[in-house]
Chains A and B, each alone.
Chain A
Amino acid sequence: MTTNSDTTKGKISRNGLWDSNVALVQLLGLCPLLAVTSTVVNGIGLGIATLITLVLSNTIVSLIRGFVRSEVRLPVFVLIIASLVTIIELSMQALFYDLYLVLGIFIPLIVTNCAIIGRAEGFASRNPAGPAALDGLMMGLGFLFVLAVLGGMREIIGFGTLFANAELMFGEGAQALTFEPNPDYGGFLLAVLPPGAFFGLAILIAAKNWFDLRPQEKTEVISAVAESV
């Protein structure tokens, strides 16, 4: 991998959202991912908190990369991330208390999300602030996207609803967002329980791999045909 192609805006975005997606390819941060995705709103809530942490930690790590001595860089990164997460947790408790009640115990887990220290060490500590912030944003969006999709899958299969409790995050007006196609749907417990999270993630990873491999198969077929001719 050359550093040049890694730091163009398009490449950073593509890496974060798809090619090196934190959840689907790097398989980092699975603990919060699997634990909170029983509904879309939970997924989006934790996704946004992780995204903010990633952008801020990447930016700060990049800004101080000139001064940090390599022997102490990891403790410094951990310190930055832990402080940021505590600040986010306190702010959430003050501003979005109801959402905090739902996500509360998972917020401190962001500290243990390897994706964050992984990006600090692997990208932000070697690149200028702009690309580092963009990398944090794109990695965060990629993670948020998977959290939301997995939450949606589990919620619609498990509870038969989508965007339930949206008012916790977006205010009372968002109650109208809740979508319940069939009120008589009895629910499918397995999707809500932890195994449902593993099945759901496995399906998403399989779908991504299938999607990525498809064009290659086509070209292989074409080259095979070309060879036979």
Chain B
Amino acid sequence: MIAISRRQVLLSGVFLWLFAVVGTTLVALTEYSTSAAIVENERQLLLRNLYALLPMNRLDNDIATDTLELPASTLLGTDDDSTVYRARLRGEPVAAIFNSIAPDGYNGKIHLLVGVYIDGSLAGVRVVKHAETPGLGDAVEIRKSSWIEDFAGKSLTNPSQDRWRVKRDGGDFDQFTGATITPRAVVAAVRNTLLYYQQNADMIFDQ
């Protein structure tokens, strides 16, 4: 066994430190040069999702920044603050787009964007994040099937509240072959979001 001298230990330490400095500097430089593009990409994705729910000619405000933080709510399925996006046309409120969560998906939470017009009817619903079974539950994704488009135009009176279920539970909404839990969770979450809107509409557009 060769004894390692104090000098060698010090050299190794300095060498490792130098590498840490160089590596961190490179990462920091990359972060600096890409951050603007990344923020813009995220914003474009958000706008793409929001405009998918609401025809562009229905609003003229910057919906991505006209937002309000809502406190955690069981109706929205949120454990934490969530953002609501507000659409306006010539200053008048048109619709609100909620980030709501169906907590009881087959495989955890299903994150939704739910657009509600000022009169309480649905502009549309999109799934933004989920971990449902590929090929079965993932038919709630717009890329996989058009099921989610059926929500547009629905409200708490159309169909009546007790019909806001999947057909197997005696409601109006289709389930998928082999997957009832996922659509059941999404239908309940959308209904709850409408209820939340009904109770909080004034507060959402007031501020």
Contact = CB atoms under 8 A, between A and B. Distances in A.
B37 interface: yes
Given A79-B20, A93-B34, A187-B135, A87 B12 contact: no
Interface in A31-85: 38, 67-69, 71-72, 75-76, 79-80, 82-83
27 contacts: A67-B15, A68-B15, A69-B12, A72-B12, A72-B13, A76-B19, A79-B19, A79-B23, A83-B23, A83-B24, A87-B26, A87-B30, A90-B31, A91-B34, A93-B34, A93-B41, A94-B34, A94-B37, A94-B38, A94-B41, A95-B37, A97-B41, A101-B45, A158-B135, A189-B133, A192-B134, A192-B135
Nearest to A85: B27
Interface in B52-69: none
Nearest to B13: A72
B203 interface: no
Nearest to A71: B12
B107 to A, nearest CB: 12
Contact of A189 (B11, B15, B136): B136
Given A90-B30, A90-B31, A94-B34, A69 B23 contact: no
B16 interface: yes
Interface of B: 4, 8, 11-13, 15-16, 19-20, 23-24, 26-27, 30-31, 34, 37-38, 41-42, 44-45, 133-136
B170 to A, nearest CB: 28
Nearest to B41: A97
Contacts of B27: 83, 86-87, 90
Nearest to B31: A90
A83 B41 contact: no
Contacts of B31: 90
Interface string A92-107: 0111010001000000
Contacts of A72: 12-13, 15-16
Contacts of A94: 34, 37-38, 41
Contact of B135 (A75, A79, A93, A189): A189
Interface residues of A, number: 27
A69 B134 contact: no
A82 B11 CA distance: 23
A206 interface: no
Nearest to A193: B134
Nearest to A77: B19
Interface in A90-130: 90-91, 93-95, 97, 101
A82 B26 CA distance: 11
Point out which of B8, B30, B31 has the most chain A C-beta atoms below 10 A from its C-beta.
Answer: B30
B37 A69 contact: no
Contacts of A192: 134-135
Nearest to B17: A72
B53 to A, nearest CB: 19
Which 5 pairs show the lowest CB-CB distances between chains A and B? Answer: A83-B23, A94-B34, A94-B37, A97-B41, A189-B135
Contacts of B30: 86-87, 90-91
Given A97-B41, A189-B136, A192-B134, 14 more contacts: A68-B15, A69-B8, A72-B12, A76-B15, A76-B16, A80-B19, A80-B23, A90-B27, A91-B30, A93-B37, A94-B38, A94-B41, A95-B37, A97-B44
A90 B23 contact: no
A97 B43 CA distance: 11
B134 to A, nearest CB: 5
Contacts of A187: 135
Nearest to B16: A72
A90 B34 contact: yes
A55 B24 CA distance: 20
